[in-house]
Amino acid sequence: MTEQRLVLQNCGRVDPANIDSWLAAGGFAALDRARAEHTPEEVIAWLKASGLRGRGGAGFPTGLKWELTSKSAGPERYVICNADEGEVGTFKDRYILERDPFTLIEAIAIACYAIGARRAFIYLRDEYRDLLPHLRNAIVAAHSSYPLGCEIQIREAAGAYVCGEESGLMESIEGRRGEPRFRPPFPPSSGLWAKPTVIQNVETLMNVPAIIRNGPEWFAGIGTAQSKGTKVFSVSGDVAQSCVCEVPMGTPLREVVEGIAGAHDIKMVQVGGASGRVVPSARLDTPLAYEGVLGAGAITVYGEGRDTIEIGLRTLEFFAEECCGKCSPCRQGCEALVGILERLAQSRARASDLSLLRDIADNMMLASLCGLGQAAPNFVVDTLQAFGDEYLARVLA
């Protein structure tokens, strides 16, 4: 299996500490082209035609988000780059930030041009604070080499998983606890400081300069009917080689985990981190695409012999720890699921615990305020279906 490097094309090829090296590789050509040849409306039309969708997990169409934001009233608008990367097993955004910060800066400047924003923020994961000097230098170098048309600032994240959720992130930038907001309104009409705001994942933005350079048809020609372009994954777990790789949308999961990461004797693969979906080994030919499995870009491989209940318990303990507590379906649901999984792990659960597990999971998925609580039960729901006998084996007779 060969990779197709579009987002990662400069990684390892340019010196991320030297803007001249990036300029020599065509840096700012896309921003130049966007401004010289296209109105902001045309840039947005190109993004819509490209079919680019968000890479941070939810998959919302990027061009539509920009259009809605640009049409919202008011002189002040913002662009936020979501570099919080808190999903378990995800390290692809860090890979990009380390190796190609200039393309990200160029993409942010194109977004600002398209929606009419003068200020942009990079919300950087707390655990990535070692990257601060590197990113600050890149922003200073970019500003002094080229009129970006916008001011880009870094905001250090608050160190909570839920702060990666877009409304919690905005609360955090505004100086409050990172808790999700009730919606509507959505960020395109009322985001940061109640102003129209575009918020995008690092990888989503990294696609933008390539689309402007090569045209929307070129981009739409890569991938599947509903999933255009490529996807970057961080692959880890029971693999021969943990890695960051980029493949066309629609690539079978098997090609990444066995072909690229060299995994074998696989029991199951979790696609999308702790909140992702579980693919048992019999379904490894599932396509990596919005119409298959995708999530935020973490692929975690579990080999034969791994204990499903143990993984489920650790997963739910993570969510119980990271739950912000604002809504009760998530707050009480995570704790209750941990309790049942503890009883299962100690083989002292009752048969009624299994129906309770399903009931609580259903309610959390339906009633939680944000994606944390909605997705927290995914592992349990998927493995109850695929490995139900393991749950039954832990129930008291």
Going by DSSP bridges, is the β-strand pair 78-83/298-303 parallel, antiparallel, or unpaired?
A: unpaired
Is 277 or 394 the residue whose CB approaches ligand FMN more closely? 277
- The answer to whether the bond into 40 is cis (omega within 30° of 0) is no
Helix, strand or coil for residue 145? helix
Is 103 or 308 the residue whose CB approaches ligand FMN more closely? 103
**Binding piece for ligand FMN, criterion CB under 6 A, among 11-19, 84-92, 97-105, 147-155:** 84-92
In angstroms, what is the minimal distance from the CB of 294 to ligand FMN? 11
DSSP state letter for 346? T
DSSP for 56-118, please give it: SSS--BHHHHHHHHHHSSSS--EEEEEE---STT--HHHHHHHH-HHHHHHHHHHHHHHHT-S
Among 25, 29, 49, 58, binds ligand FMN (CB under 6 A): 58
Integer Cα distance of 337 and 100 in angstroms: 41
Q: How many CB atoms lie within 10 A of CB 40?
A: 17
Site for ligand FMN in 164-223 (CB under 6 A): 164-166, 199-201, 204
DSSP for 351-383, please give it: HHHHHHHHHHHHHHHHH-SSHHHHHTTHHHHHH
Site for ligand FMN in 231-270 (CB under 6 A): none
Site for ligand FMN in 352-391 (CB under 6 A): 370-372
In angstroms, what is the minimal distance from the CB of 330 to ligand FMN? 10
Is 87 or 382 the residue whose CB approaches ligand FMN more closely? 87
In angstroms, what is the minimal distance from the CB of 15 to ligand FMN? 26
Integer Cα distance of 190 and 183 in angstroms: 10
**Binding piece for ligand FMN, criterion CB under 6 A, among 2-10, 53-61, 242-250, 253-261:** 53-61
Is 248 or 373 the residue whose CB approaches ligand FMN more closely? 373
In angstroms, what is the minimal distance from the CB of 199 to ligand FMN? 5
The mark string for 104-143 relative to ligand FMN (x by CB under 6 A, - otherwise) is ----------------------------------------
Assess 96 for contact with ligand FMN (CB under 6 A).
Answer: no
CA 318 to chain CA mean position, Å: 18
In angstroms, what is the minimal distance from the CB of 348 to ligand FMN? 31
Is 202 or 313 the residue whose CB approaches ligand FMN more closely? 202
Number of residues that bind ligand FMN (CB under 6 A): 23
Assess 161 for contact with ligand FMN (CB under 6 A).
Answer: yes
Among 16, 22, 55, 336, binds ligand FMN (CB under 6 A): 55
Tokens of 207: 């696609």
Q: How many CB atoms lie within 10 A of CB 100?
A: 25
In angstroms, what is the minimal distance from the CB of 14 to ligand FMN? 23
Q: How many CB atoms lie within 10 A of CB 282?
A: 8
**85, 119 contact by CB (below 8 A):** no
Name, in order, each residue with C-beta under 8 angstroms of 290's C-beta and a sequence gap of 6 or more. 53, 59, 226, 227, 249
In angstroms, what is the minimal distance from the CB of 204 to ligand FMN? 3
Is 364 or 372 the residue whose CB approaches ligand FMN more closely? 372
In angstroms, what is the minimal distance from the CB of 200 to ligand FMN? 4
- Cross-strand partners of 53: 61
Among 26, 32, 48, 60, binds ligand FMN (CB under 6 A): 60
Residue 302: HSE in the Cβ half-sphere, 13 Å Cα cutoff? 21
Is 165 or 258 the residue whose CB approaches ligand FMN more closely? 165
Assess 56 for contact with ligand FMN (CB under 6 A).
Answer: yes
**Binding piece for ligand FMN, criterion CB under 6 A, among 83-91, 101-109, 141-149, 215-223:** 83-91
In angstroms, what is the minimal distance from the CB of 160 to ligand FMN? 9
DSSP state letter for 296? T
What Å distances lie between residue 78 and 51, 153, 154, CA to CA? 23, 11, 13
Task: Return the residue matching tokens 């409304």.
Answer: 167
In angstroms, what is the minimal distance from the CB of 37 to ligand FMN? 25
- Cross-strand partners of 271: 277, 299
State the residues that interact with ligand FMN by CB under 6 A: 54-58, 60, 82, 84-87, 161-162, 164-166, 199-201, 204, 370-372
